[in-house]
Structure formats: C-alpha cells, structure tokens
Chains A and B, each alone.
Chain A
Amino acid sequence: MRNPRVGWALLSPTLIILLIFGFAPFIYVLVVGFFDWNVFAAEDGLRFNGLDNFRRLVFDDLFLSSVGLTIRFAVFAIVSEIVLGFVLAQMLTRSFPGKSLFRIIHTFPLMVAPIAVGAIWRLLVIPGFGPVPFFLDRWLGLTYQIGTYPDQALMTSVLMDIWHWTPFVTLTMLAGLSSIPREPVEQAKVDGANRLQVFWYVTLPFLRPVLLTTVFIRIMDAIRTVDEVWMLAGGGPGTRFTGIYIWRVTSPAASADWGYGSSVSLITLYLTIVLCWLLFIAISGRRKGEVE
C-alpha cells in the first residue's frame, strides 16, 4: 500500500521553496495593494487606503492603453508562434537533408538573453544605420521608422518575439507530435480521412494538452515582456508602445508608490488568469455536449 507520508516528504522541499519565494511575496503584494506606501511621502510606512489604488488605476489612461497594447502584442505574437511552431514541428517529424543542422540553428534564438535579442533587433532596425530600413526604402520605397510610427514598433516587436520564441513552441509541439500513437492516425487513413480530417479529428485532440501548456507559458511571458521591447524602442514612440510592465517599471507614479505598483501587478495577474482561463475553456474541450 502506498504511504502518503513518503509523497509529502518528497514534495516538501519544493513546497517549502514555493511557499517562501512564491506564495509569501504574493500575499505581501496582495496586502500592499490596499495601502498607500509612497517612498517620497512625508510620513513613513504604510497607510491603509482601501480600494483607492484600484480606483486610481481604472482611470489611468496610460495604464488602460498599455493593457490594450499588451493584449494586441500577445495575440499577434502567440497566434503566429503557434501556427509557425506547428508547421516547423510537422516538418521536423519527417526526414530531409540537413535536418540536424536546421534543428540546431533553429534553436539558437532560445539561447540568447532577451536583452541581447532587443539589442540585435535594434541594430537591425535603427534608422540611418540598420539594414532593414535601408533596404525597405531602397527596394520598396517604404519609410520604416519605429521611433516615429507606433504600428511599426508593434509589428517589429511582434516579429522579434516570434523570432525569439517560435523555437520553444516548435520543441514543445515536436514533443507532442512524437508522443501521438500511430494507430489512430493509420485507422483514420484506412477509413478514408484526408489530411485535414486527420489533423482536425486525430492530431489536434492529441495535441490539446501540449497546446494548452504552450499557450499558457507564452501568454504569461508575453504579458510580462519588458527587456526585449524596452531595448528595441524604449516604450516609444513617446509612450505609445508602452506595455503593462514597461509602464509599471518606468511610470513615476507606479515606481514611487509601492502600493499603487502592487495594485498594477495584481490587476496584471488578474488579466493573465482570466485570459488563461478563457483559453483553457476554449482549448480543453470542457464545454458541455463536446466529447474530447
């Protein structure tokens, strides 16, 4: 008979670390979110102010625009990464010349630190110096200046994120595809299913757990992206490409008032949970009347 004490004993180091470094700071931030704690205030310490931080936050136009921008960035980047990652993973399940080399080169961006990725892309797209604006202007006559046009800054950041994180999605998808048993795929083919039907009715249901995990990880990462985007365009032009966490770090209000900053973190956590939960419902097949 299994002894539950052994299980708890084996789990306890991880649980203790999680409790100290994960749960305790969360509770601290949760509490501080309801206090006024400004480092420049005349009086030291925390003063309870109820929902005032959140009241201030829901009327902060810059924060609201940063939320919209972050969601746009996350949607564009994650959808592209999932599609591209799946296609590449499918390709890597087959044999072709130079496959090993391709796999190594393809995984390189994962090894680069986000701040270095931002620096590389900044060098590529900086006006008057980078090759991208030069050739776009020379060959297509397009004006490409991420310091002037916010849409270009957004699209460049999305491209940069795709370049950086698609290999991760490819690897997880490849693991998922490799674990699919051959029998159901062969049965479907024998029953006359075409490629699209095999993908939709066999491959995709088997990939659901992997897909779900990958999307969750990428959503959490995309929402708290700071270093890459900050390095690329500094949250600009002006404040027009300032995501939630860039705003959290750079805004004088949020960085000097720790209570207000904590409320920003809590709202961001709330947004992340809601987005992940909605996606979980959409992807996991828990809807009524639907058989997984």
Chain B
Amino acid sequence: MANLPPSAPPYQREEEVGARQRLARSDKEPGFLPIYTNAFDRVFISLVILIGIHLLWLRFMEPALPIEVATVISLAIGIYIVRRG
C-alpha cells in the first residue's frame, strides 16, 4: 500500500488508516473466517449458526438423533468460532 502525501485529502488518509488497521488486525489475529470480526461478531455468528443447526436438525435429523446432539455440536462450533474465527 503506497504512502499518501501529506497533501492528500482527509477522506483518502482516513481510508488509508482504516485499511492499515484492518491489515494489522488480520496479521495479529489470523482467524479462519473470511471477514474481519471482533468478539461480538463472532458471538453473533455462533448464535446464528446455533439456531440454523437446530432448525435443520429438527427437520432432517431428529428421527435418528436427539436434539441435544445438535446443541452439543453447535456449542462446539460456537466456541471454535469465538476463539479462532
């Protein structure tokens, strides 16, 4: 990323700083998710996945395996996302 001259307009400098911060953050926390996330984002993603897994489980898997299995699986995925995402 090229350094901007001091005469560059403010919006360009803000973008440059934002991009640098994001790159720095991604270097510091190389999570496996394809987007930049903070802790709240990862908890939110885990919650969305938890609900999705439970609904799909109710529809397709429940005759074979109880819903508690879905809870365990989605909690495990959730913890993994929060820690490594």
Q: Which residues of B contact A287 (CB under 8 A)?
A: 34-36
Q: Which residues of A contact B11 (CB under 8 A)?
A: 181, 184
Q: A183-B9, A291-B1, A292-B18 are contacts. A58–B55 as well, Cβ < 8 Å? A: yes
Assess whether B35 is in contact with A286, with CB atoms less than 8 Å apart. yes
Assess whether A58 is in contact with B58, with CB atoms less than 8 Å apart. yes
A54-B58, A58-B58, A59-B59 known; 20 other A-B pairs, CB under 8 Å?
A54-B54, A55-B58, A58-B55, A181-B9, A181-B11, A183-B9, A270-B48, A270-B51, A273-B48, A274-B48, A274-B52, A277-B44, A286-B35, A287-B34, A287-B36, A288-B35, A288-B36, A291-B1, A291-B15, A292-B15
A284 to chain B, nearest CB (A): 9
Using CB atoms, name the residue of chain B closest to A64. B59
Interface of A is mostly: helix
Using CB atoms, name the residue of chain B closest to A56. B58
Assess whether B19 is in contact with A292, with CB atoms less than 8 Å apart. yes
**How many B residues, CB 8 Å from partner?**
22
Interface residues of A in 175-204 (CB under 8 A from B): 181, 183-184
Using CB atoms, name the residue of chain A closest to B31. A288
What separation, in Å, do the CA atoms of A274 and B53 have in the docked complex? 13
What separation, in Å, do the CA atoms of A23 and B59 have in the docked complex? 29
What separation, in Å, do the CA atoms of A286 and B25 have in the docked complex? 12
Q: Which residues of A contact B34 (CB under 8 A)?
A: 287-288
Q: A288-B36, A291-B19 are contacts. A51–B67 as well, Cβ < 8 Å? A: yes
Interface residues of B in 1-52 (CB under 8 A from A): 1, 9, 11-12, 15, 18-19, 22, 26, 34-36, 44, 48, 51-52
Using CB atoms, name the residue of chain A closest to B9. A183
A72 to chain B, nearest CB (A): 20
A45-60: CB near B (< 8 Å → 1, else 0) gives: 0000001001100110
Q: Which positions in B face A, CB cutoff 8 Å?
A: 1, 9, 11-12, 15, 18-19, 22, 26, 34-36, 44, 48, 51-52, 54-55, 58-59, 62, 67
Using CB atoms, name the residue of chain B closest to A206. B11
Q: Which residues of B contact A291 (CB under 8 A)?
A: 1, 15, 19, 22
Interface of B is mostly: helix
Assess whether A288 is in contact with B48, with CB atoms less than 8 Å apart. no
A64 to chain B, nearest CB (A): 9
A267 part of interface (Cβ distance < 8 Å):
yes
What separation, in Å, do the CA atoms of A187 and B63 have in the docked complex? 63
What separation, in Å, do the CA atoms of A145 and B58 have in the docked complex? 39
A255-287: CB near B (< 8 Å → 1, else 0) gives: 000000000000100100110010001000011
What separation, in Å, do the CA atoms of A274 and B62 have in the docked complex? 23
Q: Which residues of A contact B55 (CB under 8 A)?
A: 54, 58, 267
| A-B residue pairs in contact (CB < 8 Å), sample of 23 | A51-B58, A54-B54, A54-B58, A55-B58, A55-B62, A58-B55, A181-B11, A183-B9, A184-B9, A274-B48, A277-B44, A281-B35, A286-B35, A287-B35, A287-B36, A288-B34, A288-B35, A288-B36, A291-B1, A291-B15, A291-B19, A291-B22, A292-B19
What separation, in Å, do the CA atoms of A248 and B67 have in the docked complex? 26
Looking at the complex, which one of A58, A273, A281 makes contact with B59 (CB distance below 8 Å)?
A58
